[in-house]
Amino acid sequence: MTNRTAFVTGASRGIGRACALSLAQGGARVVVAARDRAKLEEVATEIRAAGREAFVVAIDLASADSIKAAFAEAAKEFGRIDILVNNAGITKDGLALRMKKDDWDAVLATNLTGAFVAIQQVLQGMMKERWGRIINLSSVVAESGNPGQANYVASKAGLIGLTKSLAQEIASRNITVNAVAPGFIDTDMTAGLSAELKENLLGHIPLKRLGRAEDVAAAVRFLASEEAGYITGHVLDVNGGMYM
């Protein structure tokens, strides 16, 4: 991964942060992007302390203009993006019967449309270079479904469809497109779950533990590597066996 530049969205915490750190350890220069610039600076400091290069950009995945500006800023600093990790995501849960259209739109706009617009920013450079890695963070619920999350599940299932279509479209240019589908990972997003709900969850996970952000980052780092060059259009489950 030496001399490669990676761009990670939602890199200020959780899985995105772990991905940024792992790719940096693998030798990549890393652009860390999210809305919270202060938290991004902390991640960048950690990467630089390990002797690697990091660059901070603010990005709002719900805004095409913000996405374009962030990638333009990154290109000025680091040039072409070789590895894109579409990790940023939001939830606005609610039963379908009562879900407001605004909540549907917001989740789809950030999780799916935002990821697509981000991909559009890097495709030309990757095609010219005839090398690229695009990794979309989906979710176990995209495969299994989950009540009360119609918008989130639709967005994450949409990412799997996007991954497979794009993989076929650009394979001839030596660009791979894969998805990683995490199960329940111990992050800020799951920290709010009650003890009872966690207990119930663990009953459905053969490995009997929540995943760690590092478990997901290891999968992302592998798919971003030279070694994964013959894998494309694949969904790699990192879920402790909860869905097979």
Residue 203 is classified by DSSP as T
pLDDT digits (tens, 9 = 90+) for 179-197: 999 999 998 767 778 888 8
pLDDT at 72: 98
pLDDT digits (tens, 9 = 90+) for 104-129: 999 999 999 999 999 999 999 999 99
Q: Which two tokens stand for residue 176?
A: 């791979």
- Spans of the chain below 50 pLDDT: none
Which of 181, 65, 70, 79 has the alpha carbon at shortest distance from 113? 65
**CATH of segment(s) 5-237:** 3.40.50.720
The catalytic site residues sit at 152
Residue 149 pairs in a beta bridge with: 94
Q: Assess contact for 117 and 95: CB atoms under 8 A.
A: no
Between strands 83-86 and 5-9, the pairing is: parallel
CB atoms within 10 A of CB 167: 19
Distance (Å, whole) CA 212 – CA 123: 31
